[in-house]
Amino acid sequence: MVDRLLFSDNDWSFSRLDAVDRACAQIAQEELGLDTYPNQLELISAEQMLDAYASIGLPVYYAHWSFGKQHAIESGQYKRGEMGLAYELVINSNPCISYLMEENTMTMQTLVIAHAAYGHNAFFKNNVFFQQWTDAEGILDYLSFAQAYIAACEERYGIQEVSAVLDAAHAIARNGIDRARRPRKLSAREEEMRRQERERYLEQQLSEIWRTLPPTSSPERPAQESRFPPEPTENLLYFIEKNAPQMPSWQREILRIVRKINQYLYPQGQTKIMNEGFACFVHYYIMHRLHETGQITDGSLLEFYASHTAVVFQPDYDDPRYSGINPYALGFAIFRDIQRICSAPTEEDRRFFAFAGDPDWKKQVLFAMREFRDDSFILQYLSPKVIRDLHLFALHNDPENAAYRVTAIHDDAGYREIRERLAQQVAQSSRPPNIVIDKVDRWGDRHLELRQLDAMPLSEKDAQSTLEMIQRLWGYDVFLSGNHPEFSLSARRD
């Protein structure tokens, strides 16, 4: 038992932050057994927080008008009081950088350190999805390389030019991710860059797919029927970067930058519920332990409850504040429930979960944190109790019907269905429409054919303008066809 108050009034100072950090580290590491990157805490103003928001929370980012737009929207909302600022922002890098707002009280700073510097940090380091997809060592390097490269391009080719390429790249950024394949590590090391530059140069000189001269060894022209690409490919951005017939190499590099950064951000979208849920779980545990060991006052604990409940609050579907499932609420509820299923299982839990009653709940929680992503996490761990607590129900929309139909509610018959539907919904919401590159007309007018594989209708106006963006990058006609025979769009060269 420590029994010494870390602070008694609410002004923060660097030495207090340091003491709090050490106290949190002790609980996180020794009691919860969390493994984290080293922490770097930065204090920033509300203004800076808005800036950071606008660049998707990345500390260094290239310039693009859409970030300015984001900033204008958010600072407007903030000033009108429509939006509170997050108390923290945390970067998946090594060391792990957490931004704390200087307006926060000491209690809030403690909460934020527990939440970001230990919760998120441990998640970044241990979740298998982050481990596979991101390189915490290289990201800051890569971002500053990207920033400098794009600034240099603006200098050389003009802001308008560069901005047009970025606009187009952003339009298909969500279709620029290899889902099945684990990407090579991000890297900005110089040899690597030089090597890629050389490689690209060679590729352009000798690009197989645009070779129209028949190889001297065989007198026959290659069979025209041979498709290119041999199989439909889902990474539009990558395909265009590699194969656009006449794209200057700096534009290819910009596509590559957008692609790499999106690749880096991809796991965050895939694990939002888990990531936030786990961070909430960690701060909840740490704050209580700090209180139990007499390191924070009752008043601090109450202040903590106020902001904690605000964060994990889930408005009902008919509440004006409702804007979808709150990932903090759902994730926190599930992680807490895992702990409960271990320490106080009911009959129902035993039927649903093999690990019910496991004396070592920490092991189970950490296992859940490490090995899943949102959809599989829900499939694995969403319990009847959480479904009942949140009063979840499933709704089906048939466009032919004048009414929605309730397909499952929180009862015995509905638990599994709700769990599956929610997992699907979560998986789907992080995925863009499934659009692949079907074919390039290699021997003719070089037009590009895209095909939509999923059955959900596209927003047509958006699809048309996106197609025009692709056309701009590709340089030749672009077509999009869908599942319904009557659906087809095209963007042609002027």
Q: Which is nearer to another protein, 268 or 295 (CB)?
A: 268
In the complex, the residues that contact another protein under the rule CB under 8 A are 66, 69, 72-73, 76, 167, 170-175, 314-320, 322-325, 390-399, 402-411, 413-414, 418, 421-422, 424-425, 428-429, 432-433, 435, 455-460, 462-463, 465-466, 469
Shortest distance, position 491 Cβ to another protein, whole Å? 12
Shortest distance, position 471 Cβ to another protein, whole Å? 12
User: Can you list the positions of beta strands (E) in 54-172?
Assistant: 88-91, 96-101
CB burial of residue 83 (10 Å; 0-12, 13-18, 19+): middle
Q: Which is nearer to another protein, 313 or 443 (CB)?
A: 313
Widest Cα–Cα separation across the chain:
88
Q: Which is nearer to another protein, 201 or 317 (CB)?
A: 317
Shortest distance, position 98 Cβ to another protein, whole Å? 25
- Lookup: tokens for 400: 């032919």
Q: Which is nearer to another protein, 457 or 475 (CB)?
A: 457
- Measured at the alpha carbon of residue 331, what is the angle toward residues 56 and 83, in degrees to the nearest 5? 45
The angle that helices 159-171 and 139-157 make with each other, rounded to 10 degrees, is 130
Shortest distance, position 466 Cβ to another protein, whole Å? 5
Residues 6+ apart with CB under 8 A from 314: 325, 326, 329, 330, 390
The angle that helices 361-371 and 327-343 make with each other, rounded to 10 degrees, is 140
Shortest distance, position 324 Cβ to another protein, whole Å? 6
Cα dist. 215→208, 242, 246, 441 in Å? 11, 22, 22, 19
Shortest distance, position 476 Cβ to another protein, whole Å? 19
CA 173 to CA 281: how far, in whole Å? Answer: 32
- Lookup: tokens for 105: 């009280």
Shortest distance, position 405 Cβ to another protein, whole Å? 6
Q: Which is nearer to another protein, 156 or 396 (CB)?
A: 396
Q: Which is nearer to another protein, 89 or 436 (CB)?
A: 436
Q: Which is nearer to another protein, 136 or 489 (CB)?
A: 489
Shortest distance, position 210 Cβ to another protein, whole Å? 26
Q: Which is nearer to another protein, 91 or 435 (CB)?
A: 435
DSSP notation for 198-216: HHHHHHHHT-GGG--SPPS
Comparing CA positions, the residue from 371, 335, 427 lying closest to residue 128 is 371
Residues 6+ apart with CB under 8 A from 313: 326, 329
